A and B are shown apart, each in its own frame.
Chain A
Amino acid sequence: MNGDQAMRAHSATLPSPVFEHPAWVTPPPLTRSTVAIVTSAALYAAGDEAFGAADTGYRLIDRDRRDLVLGHWSPNFDRAGVAVDLNVVYPIDRLEELAAAGTIGGVAPRHVSFAGNQPDDVSTIRLDSGPAAAAALRADGVDVVILTPV
């Protein structure tokens, strides 16, 4: 079993909350939607507050920032890919291209980063930091988010 297989097998055993009444939002047509990225790579703009080892908070990343630090504490995933091309985790240049082509309505002014290594009950991101981050994006007029895991 290689490293990825071992991590996937382990992750599959982790507890998962059940959402009894999941929400469902019908967005505007994509050509009129403002799109944001939400990643769990613990990326943050250079000079911003680093992620702690058990950080349940989030960082906002301005649309024009590309000088991002990878702040994830887990040693169990590839880091070389994002060092070569930020877009393999945080596809901001791809979104800019889609906006320029008219495929999406626009790119959000701010994007969101969490740390993927959360406590097993995920209660803080579910009840506190997650809703706060969502409210920030709503205030920016975001219609759609693409979530990228690390």
Chain B
Amino acid sequence: MSVLAHVFEAAGIATVVLSSVREMAEKTAPPRALHCEFPLGRPLGRPGDAAFQHDVLARAFALLSLPSGPVLVDHPEVIEADESPLSCTLPPRFDPSLPPAVDEARGLRRAYDRALARRGVTSVGRVIDADGVPGALAVLHAIAEGADWKDAGIPGGNTTAVCHDIRTYYEEAALELADGPVPGGRAVEDWYFEQTEAGATVLKARAAIRDGGGKFPVWFYMTPGQR
């Protein structure tokens, strides 16, 4: 973002960056930056809170009246990521002949469909659509149980993309099922990796691919780096 600020400014457009990594803003020194210590992925801070978002924009736009730069100012509020998993009920076991994650994904389909109908758009679809999620989890289950990952039939041949689609399917369904306020940053991620069969399956398959000689990019980006 800070690099793009320099590029746009050089083209004759005044810029303000909402910085998310202060050290990077210090090094790259864009003309105007408001550092926002908010959860990554939420540069305006609070979903569903128009007043807070307006406060962020007002502080950012105020920098446009300064006569010279570079200027780097901190938003006064710090919002920590929520490290406690979202409270979201999972479907009960329905078909014990299926791997648990496959059964679970099937059980979430109605919630996912409701989310899609309400939002009108989904970010599932990089290599599989919602119909492909149970099958993709069956492949990852087989890898976790010892099948050779190279011959397992990973959809699209792309572990990062298929894991993105599975996780997004779950997260979009979870937001439809969960009650209460908007979950904090990382709360839905924590729910997925710590409480769902799918998350556990992805973590096991990732370890199996790593231990089975998969190159770093093949397994590492299946989950967030800290996992």
Contact across chains for A98 and B3 when beta carbons are under 8 A apart: no
Is residue A70 within 8 Å, beta carbon to beta carbon, of the partner chain? yes
Contact across chains for B4 and A38 when beta carbons are under 8 A apart: yes
- The A-B contact count (CB < 8 A) is 265
Contact across chains for B4 and A76 when beta carbons are under 8 A apart: no
Contact across chains for B1 and A40 when beta carbons are under 8 A apart: yes
Closest to B222 in A: A75
Point out which of B20, B40, B121, B123 has the most chain A C-beta atoms below 10 A from its C-beta: B40
Contact across chains for B43 and A150 when beta carbons are under 8 A apart: yes
Q: A71-B123, A76-B225, A125-B3 are in contact. Are A25 and B39 (CB under 8 A)?
A: no
Q: A17-B28, A147-B1 are in contact. Are A8 and B21 (CB under 8 A)?
A: yes
A-contacting residues, B147-183, CB 8 Å: 160-161, 163-164, 167-168, 171-172, 174-175, 182-183
Contact across chains for A146 and B16 when beta carbons are under 8 A apart: yes
Contact across chains for B186 and A78 when beta carbons are under 8 A apart: yes
Q: Find chain A residues with CB under 8 A from B40 CB.
A: 3-4, 7-8, 76-78, 150
Contact across chains for A138 and B120 when beta carbons are under 8 A apart: no
**Size category of the binding interface on chain A:** 35 or more
Is residue B44 within 8 Å, beta carbon to beta carbon, of the partner chain? yes
Contact across chains for A12 and B3 when beta carbons are under 8 A apart: no
Q: A3-B81, A40-B1, A85-B47 are in contact. Are A78 and B15 (CB under 8 A)?
A: no
Q: How far is the CB of A63 from chain B (nearest CB, A)?
A: 17
Q: Find chain A residues with CB under 8 A from B31 CB.
A: 22-25
Is residue B210 within 8 Å, beta carbon to beta carbon, of the partner chain? no
Contact across chains for A89 and B60 when beta carbons are under 8 A apart: no
Q: Find chain B residues with CB under 8 A from A148 CB.
A: 1, 18, 43-44
23 A–B contacts, CB within 8 A, in A order: A4-B40, A4-B80, A22-B31, A23-B31, A24-B9, A25-B31, A53-B161, A73-B161, A75-B225, A80-B171, A80-B189, A81-B185, A83-B119, A87-B53, A88-B53, A89-B44, A130-B4, A134-B13, A135-B11, A144-B13, A145-B13, A147-B18, A148-B18
- Which 9 A/B pairs are nearest by Cβ-Cβ distance? A134-B11, A77-B41, A12-B23, A27-B14, A85-B47, A78-B41, A130-B7, A80-B188, A78-B185
